[in-house]
Amino acid sequence: MNKKVVLQDLGVKDYKKTWDYQEFLFKGIVDSKIKNRREGTSLETPNYFLFVEHPHVYTLGKSGDINNLLIDEAKLKEKKATFYNINRGGDITYHGPGQIVGYPILDLDNFFTDIHKYLRFLEEMVILTLAEYGLKAERSEGETGVWLDVGTPFARKICAMGVRASRWVTMHGFALNVNSDLGYFDLMIPCGIKDKAVTSLNVELAQTKVDLQEVKQKLLRHFESLFEAQLIKEKALI
């Protein structure tokens, strides 16, 4: 099993370009697995972890409800935001400046073949990272992602998740609000869940800005530990 994971930080990148790049990497892994099975070989399959920060964009998962986007096309343009229907699970999500988006593109045959466990590990990575900032983050039963003050009237989401998997290969991932403009969340019903708030790390810490690179390093350290992975940094190809 290949537990090496190629880490690429794409910086600020258009959503569609990043999605196409994800699909390219995803297809390469799937094709390798099909070839191995067809030819009876056992060549190693690669794994990737992409970091990216997107310009303002709303994405709707394949089981989502378009009515959870509360603005029309004209308002999207006014807010300098784009919209895409995409092929992950989940409902509507916002990505934008100040948010850390992570796309692990892993062959789970290299780790464990359990999507439920995979999602719980991604949540745990974020929970452990937030604990380093003195925040008690939790899961909310039946609601994928990471929350604060679960079970109280003040429950608020700080990290959204939505993945796609085929032949045990994953894509899409998580979006952690670090220095996010929370006003953009008011223009949708986040993940289709009404009457629950959204927050950001800088708001919780009462800071103007939190160092994004510092948060990324904490996330990666916990990712390596949970997945027993070895990260190898490479320059992005896009």
Give one DSSP letter per residue of 80-124, joined into a string.
Answer: T-EEEE-SSSSSEEEE-TTEEEEEEE-BGGGT-S-HHHHHHHHHH
Catalytic position from the list 176, 191, 201, 220: 191
Say if CB 231 and CB 7 are below 8 A apart: yes
The separation between the first and the last C-alpha atoms of the chain, rounded to the nearest angstrom, is 28
Q: Where are the alpha helices (DSSP H) in 40-96?
A: 73-78
**Cα-based distances in Å from 171 to 3, 75, 175:** 17, 30, 13
Superfamily of domain 53-227: Bira Bifunctional Protein; Domain 2 (3.30.930.10)
| Annotated binding-site residue numbers for substrate | 88-95, 160-162, 173-175
**DSSP β-ladder status, 82-85 and 92-95:** unpaired
Q: How many CB atoms lie within 10 A of CB 85?
A: 10
Amino acid 142: pLDDT: 86
Cα–Cα distance for residue pair 232/160, rounded to 1 Å: 25
C-alpha span between 197 and 22 (Å, rounded): 30
H-state helical runs in the chain: 15-39, 73-78, 115-131, 201-204, 212-227
What is the pairing mode between strands 99-105 and 169-177?
A: antiparallel
Helix ranges (DSSP H) in 113-200: 115-131
Angle 212-227/115-131 helices, nearest 10 degrees?
140
Whether the model clears a pTM of 0.85, i.e. scores above it, the answer is yes
159 catalytic residue (yes or no): no
Task: Report the alpha-carbon distance of residue 59 to residue 42 in Å, rounded.
Answer: 36
Q: Domain ranges in the chain?
A: 53-227
Q: Taking the alpha carbons of 118, 119, 123, 126 in that order, is the dihedral positive or negative?
A: positive
pLDDT mean by block of 10 residues, the chain; 238 residues: 97 96 97 96 96 96 87 92 88 94 98 97 98 97 92 94 95 97 89 76 97 98 98 91
Three-state DSSP state, 31: helix
Amino acid sitting at position 238: I
